[in-house]
């Protein structure tokens, strides 16, 4: 099986598990993930994050918590070529587009993921958007995948263009993955 086929199969499996998760379990998990991120966010003046889908472990409460802690939060805007532009986020909505290079000024990136492996390999949605964007992130900025507990796995298929993340945050806690920031 090719790496792309294996990734597609894994994405489908993790997506089905997320859809089957009871809402109360997801809500508890989101609160725990937000708590772990906010405990580390001191000193992050600019954070690239994302507006979560209904089944994802990220939350609008996390974004609001980052803003309340003094961070400027930027979120992605997917372009027609699948690259990412960025816009400021507030509870009132998104601001005007800042450009693709805006992610080059962040102190941390919160990355969506279907799963993440202990070597930092991230299983995304398959468009390559974040792999392109992560190449523009400062080498000192942690890149952090937000996942549910059973989505931190031993290994995942990896292709040459896949950019590793430096940490995973699950309801169970923050896990540094032994990958240098920018690596």
130 known ligand binder? yes
Residue 72 pLDDT greater than 60, yes or no: yes
For residues 11 and 138, give the distance between their C-alpha atoms in angstroms, rounded to a whole number. 28
124 known ligand binder? yes
123 known ligand binder? yes
Which residues, 6 or more positions from 97, have their beta carbon under 8 angstroms from its beta carbon? 77, 85, 86, 87
11 known ligand binder? yes
65 known ligand binder? no
59 known ligand binder? no
Give 109-132 pLDDT, tens digit per residue: 999 999 999 999 999 887 789 989
Round the average pLDDT of the chain to a whole number and report it: 93
Q: What is the mean pLDDT of residues 81-92?
A: 95
129 known ligand binder? yes
**What stretches of 69-111 show up as alpha helix (H) in DSSP?**
none
In this prediction, residue 157 carries a pLDDT of 93
Residues in the chain: 183
127 known ligand binder? yes
Are 146 and 56 in contact, with CB atoms under 8 Å apart? yes
180 known ligand binder? no
Give 147-164 pLDDT, tens digit per residue: 999 999 999 999 888 899
125 known ligand binder? yes
43 known ligand binder? no
CATH code linked to domain 3-176: 3.40.50.10420
122 known ligand binder? yes
98 known ligand binder? no
In this prediction, residue 146 carries a pLDDT of 98
Q: What is the mean pLDDT of residues 82-102?
A: 95
* Run of H or E residues at 144: strand 143-146
Are 146 and 112 in contact, with CB atoms under 8 Å apart? yes
158 known ligand binder? no
Residue 182 pLDDT greater than 60, yes or no: no
101 known ligand binder? no
Put simply, whether the predicted model's pTM sits higher than 0.85 gets the answer: yes
Q: What is the mean pLDDT of residues 6-13?
A: 94
Q: Where are the domains of the chain?
A: 3-176
């Amino acid at each position: 099986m090719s790496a792309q086929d294996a990734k597609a199969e894994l994405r489908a499996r993790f997506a089905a598990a997320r859809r089957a998760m009871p809402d109360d379990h997801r809500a508890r998990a989101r609160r725990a993930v937000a708590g772990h991120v906010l405990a580390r966010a001191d000193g992050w003046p600019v954070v690239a994050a994302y507006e979560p889908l209904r089944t994802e472990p990220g939350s609008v409460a996390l974004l609001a918590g980052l803003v309340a802690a003094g961070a400027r939060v930027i979120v992605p805007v997917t372009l027609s070529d699948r690259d990412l532009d960025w816009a400021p986020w507030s509870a009132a909505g998104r601001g005007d587009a800042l450009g693709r290079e805006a992610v080059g000024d962040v102190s941390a990136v919160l990355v969506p993921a279907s799963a993440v492996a202990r070597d930092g390999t991230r299983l995304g949605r398959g468009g390559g958007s974040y792999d392109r964007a992560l190449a523009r992130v400062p080498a000192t900025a942690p890149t952090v995948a937000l996942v549910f507990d059973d989505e931190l796995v031993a290994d995942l298929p990896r292709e040459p263009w896949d950019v590793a993340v430096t940490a995973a945050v699950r309801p169970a806690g923050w896990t540094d993955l032994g990958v240098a920031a920018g690596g």
